[in-house]
Structure 1
Amino acid sequence: MAELKADVVVLGAGMVGVSAALHLQRRGRDVILVDKNEAAGEETSFGNAGLIECASVFPYMFPRDVREIVQYAFNRSPQAHYRLSDLPYFLPWLVRYYLASSPARALHSALSELPLIQRSLIEHEALIAEAGVPELLRRTGWLKLFRSERSFANGVKEVERASQFGVPSEVLKPSAIAAREPHLSGDFTGAIYLPTPEFVPDPGALAKAYTALFKRKGGRFLVSDAKTLEQDAKGWRVRGAAAREAVVALGPWSDLVFRRLGYSIPLGVKRGYHLHLAPGGNAVLHEPVLDSDLGFVLAPMNRGIRLTTGVEFARRDAPPTPVQVQQALPRARALFPLGEAIDAKPWMGARPCLPDMLPVIGQAPRHAGLWFDFGHQHHGLTLGPATGRLLAEMMTGQAPFADPRPFAADRFG
C-alpha cells in the first residue's frame, strides 16, 4: 500500500485525539488519524461515566485528610484500591501526586484548567450539532448522594467553593432525593444536584460519531502502530503515513512514544472498571448518580445501567483485578434495583494522569513539529474538544483561547 501523506498525523483516536484532528482540520490542515484499533473510541474513551463535567472546577487531587490517607494505605477506602505487588512501581509517582496536591498547588491547577472546563460543554455541543448526533447528549445533570454528616458537609463546602466560579448547584434533603429519583433506596443525610453537566449515554459512540464527521470532511483514518513514529528530514513518519507534524494523543500509552524520544514526563495511570447491568423490573434512573461514601457511580447508558468504580493504582498493563466492582455490586443493588449483568466480565481502562492533574498540551521541547496532547486524568471525555481547540490554535499560529503555559511538557524539568 502506498504511504499516505498529510500535514499532520494524530496518534490516538480516543476523544482527545479525534477532537484535535477535527480542530486542526477546521483550521485548514490535512490530517491523518492513527490508531491501533479498527475503530475510534475503543479504549479509555469507551469506559467512563459519560459526564461532560463542566461543573468540575477542582481536579481530583490527593486527599490531605489523615483519616482518608490511612484508609487508602490499608486498602479500606471504596474510592481507591492498590495492588501491593505494584507499589514500588507507582509509589514515586504517588509521592509527586501528594506534593502537587497541597492547597496552593491544587488551586493553581484548578485555575489553570478553569478556562478549559468552562469551554468544555460549548465545544462538545458544537461538534455534536455538526456530527448530527443530538441523541448522544442528554441534559440531565447529575446527583451526588451522601450517607454521613461529615461527607455531606464536605460536599456542601465543595459546591460553595465552586459557586464562586459560577457553578450552580442544589442542596437536597432526603425527601427531595426520593422525589427526584424514586427508585433509589438508602439512608442518606442529603444530596447535591449539579444541573449543568450533560450526559453522554454512549461515550464510545460519540468518539465514533466525531470520527465519522472527520472522515466526511476529508480526513483519513489509518490502523497502524504509533511506536513506529520516527523523525526524518521532511517531518514525521509512522508506518503507512508521513506528515510535517505529529501529535501524540495516546492517553495512558503516550509514554510508549515520548520515552523513546528522550522525554521523562511523569505520566501515571489510575485504572478503573465498569459493568453494565439491566435495570430491575420497571425501575428508571434519570441521571448519573454518585454514592459518595461508597465510591461508585450508576449511569443510565444505552447498554444498561453502568456501574463504574473508583481508582486502582497498578501497572497499566497488569492483569485486571476488579475487586472494586465485586465490592460495589451488592451496595449498588441495595441503592437501585438491578437485574442481571449484561457484560460477560467487567471492563477495565486506564486514566492518564500527571501529578498536578493537568494535561500536557503543546510543542515538544526538543523536536520540531512534534506536539503533545495527553494526560487528561478523569476528564478526557470532558476536555477533549476544548484541548483539541487549544492545541490547534497553537499549531496554526492563532491566539489561544486559554493560557497554554501551565500545560507545557517542560514544567516537570
Structure 2
Amino acid sequence: MAEPKADVLVLGAGMVGVSAALQLQGKGRDVILVDKHENAGEETSYGNAGLIESASVFPYMFPRDIGQIFNYALNRSPQAYYRFSELPDFLPWLLRYYLASSPKRAMHSAMAELPLIRRSLIEHEALIAEAGAGELLRRTGWIKLFRAQASLAAAASEAERVKQYGIPSEILDPRAIAAREPNLSGDFAGAVYWPTPGFIADPGGLAKAYASLFLRKGGRFVTADARTLAQEGSGWRVNGASAREVVVALGPWSDLVFRPLGYSIPLGVKRGYHLHLKASGNAVLNHPVLDSDLGYLLAPMNRGIRLTTGVEFARRDAPPRPIQIEQALPRARALFPLGEPVDAQPWMGARPCLPDMLPVIGKAPRHSGLWFDFGHQHHGLTLGPVTGRLLAEMMTDTEPFTDPRPYAVERFG
C-alpha cells in the first residue's frame, strides 16, 4: 500500500492539533493528522476544567507577593506542589517564568493574548456547529468562590479591572451563591461569577468530535511516532506519511521534535490531576466551581463531577503522584456531596507552558515548511481553534486577523 501524501502533516491530535488541521482544511489544504494514539484527545486535552475561558484576560503568571511565594516554596499552598529533590530539574525554567511575570511583562503577555481570548468562543462555536456537537457546550459560565474577605476583595478588584476589556462579572454574596448552587456547603465570604465563558462537559469528546468532522471532510488520520519526523528533499516525512509542510502541535511533547532539529525553546510543563466522582443522592452542581482559597475545582462533566487540582511542578514523564487529589478530596466532600469515584485512579496530564504564558505560533526560522503551534499553557481547550485559524492564515498567505509577531519563536532568541 502506498504511503499517504498531503500538503500538510499536523503532529498531535489534541485540541490544538485537531483545530489546526480543521482550519487548514478550511483553507483548502489537504491535511494528514498524526498521533501516537488511534483516537484524538487522549492526552492533555482529555483532562481540564472544561472552560472556554473567553473572560480570562490575564494569564496565569508567577506570583509576586512574597508571602505567597514563601508558601509555594514550603509546599504550603494548595495551588502548587513540588518535590525539593526535583527542584534542579525545573528551577531554570521557573526563574524565567518569574522574570516574565514582572508587572510590565505580564501586561505585555495579557495584551498579546487578548485578541486570541476574544475570539476563542467564537471560533469554537463555528466548529461545534459544523461538527454537530452542540450538546457538549453549556452556557453556564463559572463561579470562583472565596472563603476569606481579603482574597474576595482582591478578586473583586481584578474583576473590575477586566471590565474595561468588555468582560462582565457579578459579585455574589453567600445568599446569591446558595441561590445558584443550593447543594454547596461552607462559610464563604463571597464569589465572582463569570457569565460569558463556555463550558464543555466532555473536553476529550469535543476533540474527538472535531476529529470526526476533519475525517468527514476528507482528512486522514495516521497513527505514527512523531519522533520519526525527518526532512526529505523539499518536504517532511514521518513513518507512515509525508507532506510538503509540517505543523508541530504536540503540546508538552513538542520538544521531542524541535530539539533534535536544533531549536532551543524554553518549554516547561505544569502537571495536573483529576478524578471523577458520583454526586450523592439528588445533588446537582450547576456550574464549574473553583474553591479558590483551597486550590481545587469541581466541574459537572458527563462522566461525573470532575475534581481538578492545582499545579504540580515535576518532570513531564515522572511517575504520577496524586498528592493534591488526596489533599483536595476531603475539602471537596465538605463543599459538595460527592459519592464514590467513577475512575479507578486519578488521571494525570501535563500543560505545555512557555515562560511568558504565550504560545509559539508561526514559521520555524531555520527550516523550510516547518511550523509551530504549541505552548498554550492552561488554555489549550480555549485557544485551540483560534490559534489554528491564525496559523492557517499565516500558512496560506491570508491576512491574519491579528498581529502574529507576539507569538513568534524568535522572541526566545
TM-score range, shorter chain: over 0.9
Is 1:137 the equivalent of 2:137? yes
Percent identity (aligned): 78
Distance (Å, rounded) in 2 between the aligned partners of 1:343 and 1:131: 28
In the other structure, the counterpart of 2:99 is 99
Deviation at 1:161, TM superposition (A): 1.3
Letter matched to residue 96 of structure 1: R
Runs of at least 5 residues in structure 2 that lack an aligned partner in the other structure: none
**Paired amino acid for 1:412:** F
What is aligned with 2:311?
Answer: 311
Q: 1-side partners of 2:241 and 2:234: how far apart?
A: 12
Aligned residue identity for 2:62: F
State how far apart, in whole Å, the 2-side matches of 1:300 and 1:398 are: 39
Give me the whole-angstrom Cα distance separating, in 2, the residues matched to 1:271 and 1:296: 14
Equivalences for 1:354-373 in 2 at 5 Å?
354-373=354-373
Query: After superposition, what is the alpha-carbon deviation per residue over 1:47-86, rounded to whole angstroms, capped at 9, x for unaligned?
Result: 0000000000000000000110000000000000012222
Matches within 5 A, 1:65-80: 65-80=65-80
The answer to whether the 8 Å contact 1:360/1:375 transfers is yes
Question: Which residue of structure 1 aligns with residue 282 of structure 2?
Answer: 282
Q: Indicate the SS of the match to 1:164.
A: helix
For the residue of structure 2 that corresponds to 1:168, the secondary structure is: coil
State the shift of 1:234 in Å.
2.5
Q: What is the rounded CA distance, in whole Å, between the counterparts of 1:34 and 1:337 in structure 2?
A: 42
Residue in 2 that maps onto 1:206: 206
How far, CA to CA, are the matches of 2:62 and 2:381 in structure 1? 21
What CA RMSD, in Å, does the superposition of the two structures yield over aligned residues? 0.5
Alignment of 1:130-169 (within 5 A): 130-169=130-169
Using the TM superposition, give the Cα deviation of residue 402 of structure 1 relative to its aligned residue in structure 2, in angstroms: 1.1
C-alpha separation between the residues in 2 aligned to 1:233 and 1:342? 50
Q: Deviations over 1:245-274 (max 9, x none)?
A: 000000000000000000000000000000
User: Structure 1: how far apart are the matches of 2:157 and 2:292?
Assistant: 14
Partner of 1:12: 12
| Secondary structure class of the residue paired with 1:9 | strand
Q: Does residue 1:344 correspond to 2:344, yes or no?
A: yes
Secondary structure in structure 2 of the residue aligned to 1:367: coil
TM-score when scaled to structure 1? 1.00
CA contact 1:2–1:240 (8 Å) conserved in 2: no
Counterpart for residue 353 of structure 1: 353
> Counterpart amino acid of 2:158?
E
Amino acid at match of 1:288: P
CA contact (8 A) 1:142 1:195 kept: yes
Aligned to 1:45: 45
Which residue is equivalent to 1:405?
Answer: 405
Aligned-residue offset at 1:204: 0.3
Amino acid at match of 2:157: K
User: What is the alpha-carbon distance in structure 2 between the residues aligned to residue 292 and residue 151 of structure 1?
Assistant: 9
Q: Deviations over 1:6-51 (max 9, x none)?
A: 0000000000000000000000000000000010000000000000
**1:133 Cα offset (Å):** 1.0
Count the aligned residue pairs: 413
**2 CA distance for matches of 1:271 and 1:350?**
4
Secondary structure at 1:261 match in 2: coil
SS for the counterpart of 1:183 is coil
Which residue in the other structure is 2:191 paired with? 191
- Alignment deviations for residues 189-238 of structure 1 (CA, whole Å, 9 cap, x no partner): 01010000010000000000000000000000000000000101121011
CA deviations 1:88-139 (Å, max 9, x no partner) are: 0100000000000000000000000000000000000000000011101000
TM-aligned CA deviation for residue 375 of structure 1: 0.2
Runs of 4+ in 1 over 3 A off after TM superposition: none
Q: TM-score, normalised by structure 2?
A: 1.00
- Structure 1 match to 2:332: 332
CA distance in 2, matches of 1:198, 1:133: 13
Alignment partner, residue 111 of structure 1? 111
Secondary structure in structure 2 of the residue aligned to 1:293: helix
The 1-side partners of 2:47 and 2:231 are apart by 33
Distance 1:275 1:20 in 2: 29
